[in-house]
Structure 1
Amino acid sequence: MESNNKIQNPETTVQKTQAMNDRDFLTDILATEKYLTQAYSTALNEASNQHLYQYILNIFEETQNCHRELYNLMFQNGWYSLEQADMQKCQQSYQQFQQDKQQLPLH
């Protein structure tokens, strides 16, 4: 059953062959950028030297921006879709967050 809450642009047609097409390349690059941002995030958490931290942070930001641009390109071409969030689920998540937040010690 397909959801009626799907948000997607019209899909740009690509030739389906054994060779990689534009969609395949972008999917692979997007996955790589996602992996890199996760790895840089871990490196930032563990960097003990301020200069090293700043250097990695700059690379992280560039990588994250590339990831976002690739995502936008894939979305524009209809190769990436989203599902509209159900308002009731959003409200439940917000209420759960508020309850969890109240249990945190005050700073």
Structure 2
Amino acid sequence: MQQQNSKVKNPETPIQKNPTMNDRDFLNDILSTEKYLTQAYSIALNEASNQNLYQDLLQIFEETQNCQRELYNTMFKHGWYGLEKEEQQKIQQSFQQFQQYKNQLPVH
């Protein structure tokens, strides 16, 4: 895996660039759909009052989430999905902030 500046990304698998959709475009479209579906299933799980319905939705949610993760991993492997590398100082600041929030919570 290579890092350029603050980017974390694998070398990009070359694809033909033309007006028609290529593998990267299809995967990106499916990944976006899977992300949307996992959000929708999460809301449905929060609202389900019937236990059997909840269990069915939970199974579908988990399958959808796993599919989303596999798509992400595939895109990342081919260099079609990159991440921003955060500075260690900012990570530490966020950690300290949330640690303070946690310490303010009442202990039971």
Runs of 4+ residues deviating >6 angstroms: none
Distance 1:18 1:5 in 2: 30
Distance 2:103 2:49 in 1: 32
State the 1:5 CA deviation. 2.5
Distance 1:61 1:106 in 2: 32
State the 1:13 CA deviation. 1.0
Identity of aligned residues (%): 71
- Structure 2 residue matching 1:7: 3-state secondary structure: strand
The equivalences for 1:58-73 within 5 A come to 58-73=59-74
- Structure 2 residue matching 1:24: 3-state secondary structure: helix
Letter in 2 for 1:45: N
Give 2:94's aligned residue: 93
The equivalences for 1:50-61 within 5 A come to 50-61=51-62
Give the alignment's TM-score, normalised by structure 2.
Answer: 0.92
Give 1:20's aligned residue: 21
Residue 5 (structure 2) pairs with residue 31 (structure 1): no
Give 1:5's aligned residue: 6
Give 1:103's aligned residue: 104
State the 1:103 CA deviation. 2.4
Instruction: Please list every run of 5 or more consecutive structure 1 residues that lacks an aligned counterpart in the other structure.
Output: none
Give the alignment's TM-score, normalised by structure 1.
Answer: 0.92
**Of the two structures, which has the highest relative contact order with CA contacts closer than 8 Å and spacing of 6 or more?**
1
Distance 1:12 1:61 in 2: 29
Instruction: Please list every run of 5 or more consecutive structure 2 residues that lacks an aligned counterpart in the other structure.
Output: none
Letter in 1 for 2:79: G
